[in-house]
Amino acid sequence: MPDQIRRIDYFYLSVPDKPGEGARAWAALQAAGVKLLGISAFPHGARKFQLDLIPEDSGAFRRAAKTAGFKLSRKKTGFLIQGEDRPGAVADAANRLAEANIHIISAQVFCAGSGRYGGMLWVEAPDLRRAAKALCATPWQKPKVVSKTDDYPSPFDACQDRSPSI
């Protein structure tokens, strides 16, 4: 099965850099039923921690964040890549962006187990449309529940003439 690449929204918020602050934020989102596709957290400035949060549903996420009193950044966009784990899996996507003269400004990629991997890539905002085209990324849509894997449309239908296939 080819990799799936789709655009994602993400937001960040700053919390005090002390034990329990990240857990408090995640617990508030959990209590509101918000599903997160990814999280990145790291020190940011003096005694602050930045939480990058990638929600499945941006609207529900924003409502929950407002209710919890979080001050969110403006919406930003990146790419979620998922597929079968193999040597060079992310290199294929990186090469497509390089061929389009697009700089990756951040990436986080992990083995997901069971022979799968997942990752997130970010590019500069002015490059988003060109990057989406180079990656054949699909816009984010809430997944449909289907009975068979053959019923899932391929996000790569528009990219069949490209080589190498991601």
Higher pLDDT, 51 or 2: 51
Q: What pTM was computed for the model?
A: 0.77
Percent of the chain having pLDDT more than 90?
73
| Residue the block writes with tokens 């991601």 | 166
Q: Residue 111 contacts by C-beta under 8 Å, 6 or more apart in sequence?
A: 85, 117
Residue 146 scores a pLDDT above 50:
no
Q: What is the pLDDT of residue 2?
A: 65
Q: For the chain, what is the mean pLDDT?
A: 85
Which pLDDT does position 140 carry in this prediction?
A: 60
Give CATH superfamily name and number for 77-144.
ACT domain (3.30.70.260)
Interatomic CA distance for residues 10 and 120, integer angstroms: 11
**Comma-separated ranges of CATH 3.30.70.260 domains in the chain:** 9-68, 77-144
Which superfamily does 9-68 belong to? ACT domain (3.30.70.260)
